[in-house]
Every structure is written in C-alpha cells, then in structure tokens.
Structure 1
Amino acid sequence: MRKTVTRILATTAAAAMAFAVSGCGNTANDASDTSSDKLTKVTFMLAWTADTNHIGVYVAKNKGYFKNAGLDVDIVAVAQAGAEQAVNNGVAEFALSNLYNAASYTDLKGAHIKQVLQVQQKPSAIWCALASNTAIKSPKDFDGKTFATFGGNESDIVIKRMIQNDGGKGEFDKVTVGTSTFKTLESGKADFGGFYSTWEGVQAEMYGPQLNCFSEPDYGVPGNGDAIGIITSDKMIQEKPDVVRKFVQAAQQGYEYAYENPDDAAAILAKDAADYNLEEAFVKKSMHVIVDGQYWGDPAKIKDGSFVLGTNDFVETQKRFDFLGEGHAYTDANGNPTDKVPQAKDGATNEFLKGAK
C-alpha cells in the first residue's frame, strides 16, 4: 500500500537548499468559488505523503473553514529539500512538521521557523520486527541484529535506551532503507525498524505483514519525540500575524472536527488526497486508532475546555530534547556534532490558537 504508507520518522532533516514544489491532487469543495480571487492565497506543504496527520488541513479546506477565514489554501506535495526549508525560505507559508525539527533547525541550524499548532500529544513511534521473526520477543533481542534506518542518529539513541532498559547491551548493526521498511524487513536485509502505530501499525494489522512491536514509553524513553504539528516562519508571524491566526484557527477547527467525526474526516481525506490512493477503510481505521488512543489529547478535556487541541507541549518535548542531548545526537548547520540542546520554547508558540491560555 504505499510509500503512501511509508514515511520517515519525525526526526528526519532536510539536507539540500534547492527544490521544486509540485501540486498534490484534487481541489477541495471551495476551489470552484468564484470569489476565491478575493481571498488571501497561502500554501500549505505536506511533510511526506498525505496521511491522517494532515487530515485537519484537508477537512478545513473541504468544509470551508479556510474560506470563511478569508484564505485560499493550496495544499502541495513536500519539496525535495523538506517542508522546513520551504517554510524558512518563503516557498510555503505553512507546512506539517514537528517540534523537534522546528526547535533544532532554529537553535542549531540558523532557521527561523516556529510550530504554531501541535496536533500529536504523545509518541506513536513503535519499533518492530516481523512477527515471523521469532528470535525477537522484546527489545533486548535487537542486540546483534540489523536496524533498518533512514539515517540520523536520534533513532539509534532511542533504540539503545530501549534495549538497555530491557536488559541488553544496546549494540546493533544498521542498513539504510531503500524503498520501505516493510520491504527491507521482508527481504531479510534488516531485522527491525521504526513505524508509527497510527499508520504503518494499521497497515500491518489490516494488510500485513504482521509485526511484533514495542513502544518507547514502555522501555524508559522519556518525552514525546512525535510532537507533529504545523509550522510557519518567523517572518510570517512578524509581518502577517492575522494570516497566521486565521490559518491556525481554521486548521484547529479542522482537526477538532476530525477528532469528533473520524469517519467523515477519513472520507474527506481519501477523496481530496486522491493522488495518494488512500483506501477509505484504511484511513478510517487510522483515525479510530488516533481517537481511541487519545493521541491528539483527551476528548473529555477538549470538550470541557481544560485542554485546547493543538496546544504545543513544551514539557514532554524538552524531556526528549534533553535525552537526545545526553546521547550527543545533535549537529549544527554544517553537520558538525554539537552539545548544544534545542529548547522547545524557541521552536513553538501557542499565541495563535483559539482558546489557548
């Protein structure tokens, strides 16, 4: 089912500066409105292929929330150099990213971006072997095995901690994923790899191959490394704060609708992101995993107003940043190791969210 289902873990960094932007698929319901030339045009860039992390933006466009806010939003495919570079360079006004990238790019690589809405409030990363690989029963069995990696050493530090907390040494080999982690495992080139419970985990359950998976919190990895959300540039915040506020609050409304109406939201994503060939049943299952697992926050607290969906969490993300810093994970703009640790407060703001305290 996909590169349409395989995506790089949220710590992936863009390397190049030059890129081209391409459009992605069907226009939404408001695209035919003849008054669209009166709207402020902005671009939202995907972080990878369209999936349920992006669903609130698709819903906001389909339901007319952006149009009601005076915006004409063009949803485009991710650029070769990455969504972060596109936003930093002004190619896109908004994009899906994560607080790890926003903070580390800002503090370590000289970018000027901020996350303005954090949809995912707890980690969904899972570390898995094929269920048919009976030699792996828990993370300590990753010792001496081969890890299918997309590059970078953040995941290495996470896996090492999981193995050691399970009683192992934390020693393993690596191979770079060429196409998808599923295929790399099935080929026998690697023994385990990283997935997301809300997407690839759903794929494995519905279509196979069956996986044996382990989550980070169960094995002592602190904080939230999957603080996925929407970024914009400091320039947009300084020069067009009203546009940022309108976009953020319309997207926030889209995510709220999706959280309350997962089946309808799934149908919207499958239809309006048609280029990605998403099966509606699969997207619905993904949304129900998100809702049942309360990945976007406690619905009861959202309903009573004690938690605002989209709030950037500076506590759990900083725990993850500090943990990675202890493992010497970070590099500067030139790719050189640095002991400087990104600060979550430098990479995000809640000022544009409706209802944020």
Structure 2
Amino acid sequence: MKTSALRTFAALTLSALALAACSAPSSAPSSGASGAPASTSQDLRKVNFMLSWVPDTNHIGVYVARNKGFYAEEGLDVGILAVAQAGAEQAVNNGLADFALSNMSNIGSLSLQDVHLTQVLQVQQRPSAIWCSLASNAAITRPKDLDGKVFATFGANEDSAIVKRMIQGDGGRGEFDSVTVGTSTFHVLQAGKADFGGFYSTWEGVEAQLKGPKLNCFEGEKYGVPGNPNEIGVITKADTAKKDPAFVKAFTQATKRGYEYAYAHPDEAGEILVAEAKKDGMEVDPALAKASMKFIVDGKFWGDPAKIADGSFALGTADVAGAQAYYDFLAKAGGTYQDAKGNPVSTAPKASELATDQFLK
C-alpha cells in the first residue's frame, strides 16, 4: 500500500503549516552520545523532521526522542513539521526537511525518477496493511468476494496490484471497479460509494475496534502478496547520508532510542505522543494512541521485543529481502513503475541501494 497516498486527505489539511514552519539546517552538529560533549541549547543544530500524514504511532519514536532529550544529547534541536502538499519524500529531496517518515515502497518508486533517498531506520518489520469491507456487508466474507465490487482507492496502482493478487490467491478472477476518493475511507464505505478499501491495522484498524464501524478485513500476505509492502521508516536524502554521516548518525541514534523507549513503555509513549503533538497544534486521541501501541507491541510489528531487549535484534534494521520481493512483485504486475517523464518502467528498484543499517551501530 502506498503509505503517503492512503492519507492524502489528512496531509492536504496540514500542508500550509509545514511550509510555514520549515527552516534551513544550520552548521554541523556537535555529537552527544555519539562521541563529543553535548552542545548547549544555543549551539544545537536545527533539524526538520516531516510527518508523512497526521501524527500517529508510526511517528511516535521521534516525539519520544524529542520529549526525553535524546536529540539534545546528540546536539540536535528537532522541529516536527506537518506534511507538505507535495509529500514528505519530495520535501526531503528539495531540502525543506532533513528527515521524514516514509516507506521503502515510496522511495523505490521515486528512485526510478531520479529522486535519491535512503532509509536509515526501518520502524515496521511486518506488514500492517489490511483490506476491509464493512462487517454489515454480508456479500463480502473472503477476498474472492471482492470480485465485481468497488474499491475505494487513493489512486496508487500498487494498491490495485495487491488487491488483484489477493483475490486471485483466494480463487477469484481479480476483477473489480475503483473509485478515487479524497476523504476518509470509512466515510466512503458508510456512504455506500464503495464496497472495500485499504487501511492500516495498527491505526485505522485499532480505531475501528474502539469506535467503529465494525470491519471485515483481509491481509494480503495470507493470499499470495510477497515481501513486505509496509516497510515504514525514517528517510533522508542520499546525498546527505554520504556527505554528512555524523549528522545522520546522530539523528538516527537518537530516533532509535526513541522507538526503543516507546516499545518498552507503550502507555507512557502514547501519553508523550498526545502531549508533544498538542504542542505543535495537532490533536491525537489518547485512547487510540495507547491502544495502537498495545497492538503494535503485542503484534511485534517493530520486531520481537525480547530480542531487542537482549540485543540479538537491532530495532530499525532494514529488511532488504522483503522490500526486494515486493518490488519484484510490482514490476512483474506492471503498471506501477514510471520514470521521471511518466514512461512505464519494467525494471524493479534495487532495495539494497535504498536502505542502510550503517547509522544504527
């Protein structure tokens, strides 16, 4: 699922805030935990991190790191910006933000268009995309029932490729109609304008459990969709990672600590997300934040907590194999990849060139 596309309706309402808040980075940082003594408040390097949609638990490690002073210890003063209309990836590419939350799917597509970004910390280690109809729709009980139905989409071709494979994996034809929406998929389904749509189990799925509507959901990986479509993580410009590695390492190390803390203290992290987002003029439902974090920890979405605790797995590690399997699937499906001129591209991106673990160590 194309993450930025799924929540475009929320992103557009916040874009003006992002553009107004952006400021250029200053001189090179002094390192805290990475080596040299931490800087005073006057010396902290200004850093812009851009959201990819409204604040939620995917971003929580950044809010925790800011709240706990992890960034300050690394000599950084991090501002968290609402997403720009062009998207978080283009904001990083154009220098409006130093880092952003994105996913391997998006940066893979952009790499074929001469936009060179690098994932430096992969938050999510397993798929969270779910494809749902209203539970009240008795005509849909399994993926093959989606044949002939109407899909509420935000226009991403890869979403259609996933749905087609999922239906076919359940013995159906993989034929359905689509309607492009610009508002909440919940509202579109409840209004009867579509039969099913895409959500994230860790946020909208939890929200539906708390508030409704009740959903009947399917997971693509159970019906033949290979790899991990939802490798959500922190990105920066490839050129920044190459030319200013100390800066990128400082930010990555502090952010990693933020996600580790959130994973180990989910309730407190939920409270921090609510409080920190409010400082930036954004509202997060406290009950949803805590319930989402519980769902993430219970489902081991960021990795096995026990292995993270004992050091046998580093939170943030890139799943290059999972990304490549998904890239190859989309390339074979066709109709997803384009070059900078809009021409079709049949060659899959190279995941090994788009993610690195070097800043986690």
For normalisation by structure 2, the TM-score amounts to 0.89
Superposition misfits of 4+ residues, deviation over 4 angstroms: none
> 2:320 matched to which residue of 1?
314
Question: Would you say the 8 A contact 2:2–2:158 is kept in 1?
Answer: no
The reply to whether residue 200 of structure 1 matches residue 204 of structure 2 is yes
Instruction: Work out which of the residue numbers 116, 119, 122 in structure 2 matches 1:115.
Output: 119
Distance 1:99 1:44, change over 3 A: same
Instruction: Work out which of the residue numbers 259, 263, 270 in structure 2 matches 1:259.
Output: 263
- Displacement of 1:234 after TM fit? 1.8
- Displacement of 1:11 after TM fit? 6.3
CA distance in 1, matches of 2:5, 2:337: 12
> Which runs of structure 2 are paired with 1:87-98 in the superposition (5 Å)?
87-98=92-103
State percent identity of aligned pairs: 58
- Displacement of 1:104 after TM fit? 2.4
Question: Would you say the 8 A contact 2:226–2:329 is kept in 1?
Answer: yes
> 2:347 matched to which residue of 1?
340
CA distance in 2, matches of 1:299, 1:159: 31
Question: Would you say the 8 A contact 1:224–1:317 is kept in 2?
Answer: yes
Local SS of the residue matching 1:123 = coil
CA distance in 1, matches of 2:150, 2:253: 44
CA distance in 2, matches of 1:196, 1:236: 31
Question: Would you say the 8 A contact 1:9–1:194 is kept in 2?
Answer: no
Question: Would you say the 8 A contact 1:105–1:111 is kept in 2?
Answer: yes
CA distance in 1, matches of 2:20, 2:299: 34
> 2:105 matched to which residue of 1?
100
Question: Would you say the 8 A contact 2:4–2:52 is kept in 1?
Answer: no
**AA at the equivalent of 2:333:** G
Mark the runs of 5 or more structure 1 residues left unpaired by the alignment. Answer: 1-7, 25-33
> Which runs of structure 2 are paired with 1:44-55 in the superposition (5 Å)?
44-55=49-60
- Displacement of 1:105 after TM fit? 1.2
> 2:3 matched to which residue of 1?
10
> 1:142 matched to which residue of 2?
146
> 2:44 matched to which residue of 1?
39
CA distance in 2, matches of 1:218, 1:247: 36
Once the two structures are superposed, residues 101-155 of structure 1 have per-residue CA deviations (whole angstroms, 9 ceiling, x without a partner) of 222212x010121000000001000000000101000010000000000002101
Once the two structures are superposed, residues 65-118 of structure 1 have per-residue CA deviations (whole angstroms, 9 ceiling, x without a partner) of 000111000110111111111111111110001111222212x01012100000
CA distance in 2, matches of 1:152, 1:311: 27
Which deviates more, 54-63 or 36-45? 36-45
Question: Would you say the 8 A contact 1:140–1:169 is kept in 2?
Answer: yes
For normalisation by structure 1, the TM-score amounts to 0.90
> 1:219 matched to which residue of 2?
223
CA distance in 1, matches of 2:253, 2:67: 15
CA distance in 2, matches of 1:305, 1:271: 30
CA distance in 2, matches of 1:101, 1:279: 27
Across the two proteins, how many residue pairs are aligned to each other? 334
Mark the runs of 5 or more structure 2 residues left unpaired by the alignment. Answer: 9-14, 23-38
